[in-house]
Amino acid sequence: NLPYGGAKGGVILDPRSLSMAELERLTRRYATEISPFVGPEKDIPAPDVGTNAQIMAWMMDTYSMHRGYSIPAVITGKPVEVGGTVGREYATGLGVTYVTRAVLRQKLGLRIDNARVAVQGFGNVGSWTARTMDERGARIVAVSDQYGGIYNAKGLDPRRLMEHVKESRTVTDYPDGDKLTNQELLELDVDVLVPAALEGQITKENAARIQAKVIAEGANGPTTPGADRILADKGVTVIPDI
């Protein structure tokens, strides 16, 4: 029973529309506003959709300035140089890969080698899941972000995709794939579907059209309770996001 409250917070905007200076000013103001409610022994913020290690560093720095001394423990996901943890960047994605590999082997008698995988969401969790699965022999046939997705039956290269996204900020104009929508990605005939974007993506309205053998949840609550029942009746194995 950890002595922390439960909370979620954020700012409604597209961070990609801001300059670095604008993003820093907004982040520091947000950190100032929530500072009375967070702390190493109260509640510890962590990265989520639209954030990165730099944003976590700004938040830690702002909180520390208000207290008068450095407090690295106020937030997770910081760069290693300012007290972050080695491996934090890829830990969640690698964890998704490990449990998926175990479920494929133990429950379905399959190997991750050459398993066909579709990943919805190409942020921190989705990109590192795709990359670590690819490194273990899986074939990443589709990925998507908030703007849409791409598909290549022969497989996509997650490393090249990650480099591409650093420049273009989207996967949709990646040259080695055919465009598809997020909904089309969810309904692809694949071995593993990784919803790693937002919550409520698989619902009772589309669950019957899901063709994946395994759903490995990388996002928070991507499958609704109504969809869970339909997927169970279809024999789809769902690895919960816990």
Active site residues per annotation: 8
Cα 7 to Cα 107: distance, rounded to the nearest angstrom: 35
Q: What are phi and psi of 177, to 5 degrees?
A: -165, 160
Size of the chain, expressed as the number of residues it contains: 242
Give SS3 for 138: coil
Q: What are phi and psi of 230, to 5 degrees?
A: -65, -45
Residue showing tokens 């039956």 = 153
The span from the first CA to the last CA of the chain, in angstroms, equals 17
Between 124-135 and 158-168, two packed helices, what is the crossing angle to 10 degrees? Answer: 150
- Structural element, H or E, at residue 93: helix 88-108
